[in-house]
A = this chain, B = another copy of it.
Amino acid sequence: MKIGIIGYGYWGPNLVRNFSGIGSCTITKVADPRKERLAFLAKNYPSIDGVMMADDIIKDPAIDAVVIATPVFTHFGIAYEALKMGKHVLIEKPMTSTTDQAKQLIELAEKNDKVLMVDHTFLYTGAVQKIKELIDSGEIGNINYFDSTRINLGLFQPDINVLWDLAPHDISILNYLYNEKPYSVQATGTCHTGNGIENIAFITVNYESGFIAHFNCSWSSPVKIRMMLIGGDEKMIVFNDLEPTEKIKIYDTGYKYMTDEEQYSIRVDYRSGDVHIPKINMKEALSGMASDFINAINNKTTPVSDFNSGLEVIRILEASQVSIKDKGREVIIKS
């Protein structure tokens, strides 16, 4: 199988390195309009052909699959052309800029019987895989809430706000772990640079069951935090991605409702118990994602991070974007 990668900026080299490590495929071309990026490619991978135009890859009949790692607003156009040319397509997160675009790509991929997949890398981490396993086993009980903080002093993106930059990670994890359809979102945020692109944003995602998800995203925090709390009625999980090895802590902790007539008494009590830190697989997630793409093409399997995962993330982002621009108004998520 022959692969072409479009975009060789921040993430491109990671894609090249991981696809290079897979025996059953070969990267033949990498496209980037910047000469210095192509020179950097040539130095490290002299056998790969560096080209300036995406079209040099999309229209190359020898190429079977295309990986798109360009700015978000270009995802749809490139992916659409590539699918039209009969390529399998993998797109960096977020998949597209709108749900309409995502739906068009899905329709085209299904019509042409091609794999369309999005790179939600986190779904392939040992940590998220372990949490999925814990939840599916019933050990956590019914899940009540999800609360994620992803903040640091980070690169301000010129074309997308912090929500589109950071929240796809958390939303894709949320959707992967929790199956209920989200009902609505409220999002607030602010821009401190005068260019209308929010650098701090908060999202609440509401569900009819009372489950609630909350995301705190910031490029402006002096401290780096990558933490998710997942509260079940049997146990609770803390996923701290900055811990080098002890990333997941499972708290045997919960609370229960008690009927009580007395005025001053406490009617809900909690208990705290042991904590367990499972060993997790430390294999590089991106390598698992790359293999999943190749495997989906070769064996017609559904990848973990499939186009529906991509679409559902866009639905929430799009609704959040409407809300954040409309002063946090509740926005119903279109299905």
Residues of A within 8 A of B (CB): 9, 34, 71, 144-145, 147, 149, 151, 153-158, 184, 186, 188-195, 199-200, 202, 204, 206, 210-212, 214, 216, 218-224, 229, 231, 233, 236-238, 242, 244-246, 249, 251-253, 255, 257, 260, 263-270, 272-279, 327-330
Cβ distance A48 to chain B, nearest Cβ, rounded Å: 14
CB atoms of A190 and B251 under 8 A apart: no
Other-chain residue from B186, B251, B267 in contact with A327 (beta carbon distance below 8 A): B186
Q: Which residues of B contact A200 (CB under 8 A)?
A: 145, 147, 212, 214
Q: Smallest Cβ distance from A296 to chain B, in angstroms?
A: 27
Q: Complex: how many Å from CA A329 to CA B184?
A: 12
Cα A71 to Cα B231 in complex, Å, equals 29
In angstroms, Cα B190 to Cα A147, docked, is 12
* A274 and B276 contacting across the interface, CB-CB below 8 Å: yes
CB–CB A188/B204 < 8 A = yes
Considering the chains assembled together, what is the distance between the CA atoms of A155 and B269 in angstroms?
Answer: 7
**Cross-interface CB contact of A193 among B199, B206, B257, B264, cutoff 8 Å:** B257
A236 to B219, CA, bound (A): 13
Residues of B within 8 A of A199 (CB): 268
On chain B, the residues within 8 Å of A257 by CB distance are 193-195
B327 A158 Cβ-Cβ under 8 A: no
Name A277's contact: one of B9, B206, B218, B274 (CB within 8 Å): B274
